[in-house]
Structure 1
């Protein structure tokens, strides 16, 4: 697992190729990241199903309650079938853009 911090955002990337192990590590270390916006980078996983992505739903809900962004980067999934409570995008650039927009919305009181 690789963690990269840039200002108020942390990008967490799986370096082992083991999705289940990665999810467990992120879950166990979640308290460490709770004060930052989080980008979960799953681009390395070419064969992820929608059910794998949905496994991040509890973390996403918990994190958004603290008024922070939680964005998952993954390609090759049906974005229309993703639950509305999950923010999933195909690239890191889009993830950063979403976080920037959500920061502006929070600053404006939305």
Structure 2
């Protein structure tokens, strides 16, 4: 697992070969960054299923409560297969755009 502190968010990227190994490490680390936006970049090396992605729904809900953003970057899934409030995008640039838009929404009281 790689963790980089970017200007407006924390980038967590996977370098593990198995999803279960990565997910366990991710859960340990995500609590440290409770008040910061998180972008999670899933490696193409990991074989990940729709059900695996759905495990991150609780994290997304918790981040929303904390008024922070959580975005997953992966081009391995169809984003339309997931709930609308679950941010999965194919590129890092789109993840940064989501964070920026959600910040504006919070400032406007949405």
* TM-score when normalising by structure 2: 0.90
The 5-angstrom pairing of residues 6-85 of structure 1 reads: 6-45=6-45, 47-85=47-85
Please, which moves more after superposition, 45-54 or 57-66? 45-54
Q: Shift of the alpha carbon at 1:46?
A: 6.0
Contact kept? 1:43, 1:75, Cα under 8 Å:
no
How far apart, in 2, do the equivalents of 1:20 and 1:40 lie?
15
* TM-score when normalising by structure 1: 0.90
Structure 2 gaps of 5+ residues are: none
Residue by residue, what CA displacement relative to the aligned partner does 1:31-69 show, whole Å, maximum 9, x if unpaired? 211111000101434642211111111111111110000
How far apart, in 2, do the equivalents of 1:15 and 1:43 lie?
6
Structure 1 gaps of 5+ residues are: none
Q: Which runs of 4+ in 1 moved over 2 A?
A: 43-48
How far apart, in 2, do the equivalents of 1:15 and 1:47 lie?
12
- How many residues matched? 110
How far apart, in 2, do the equivalents of 1:102 and 1:43 lie?
25
Residue 94 (structure 1) aligns with: 94
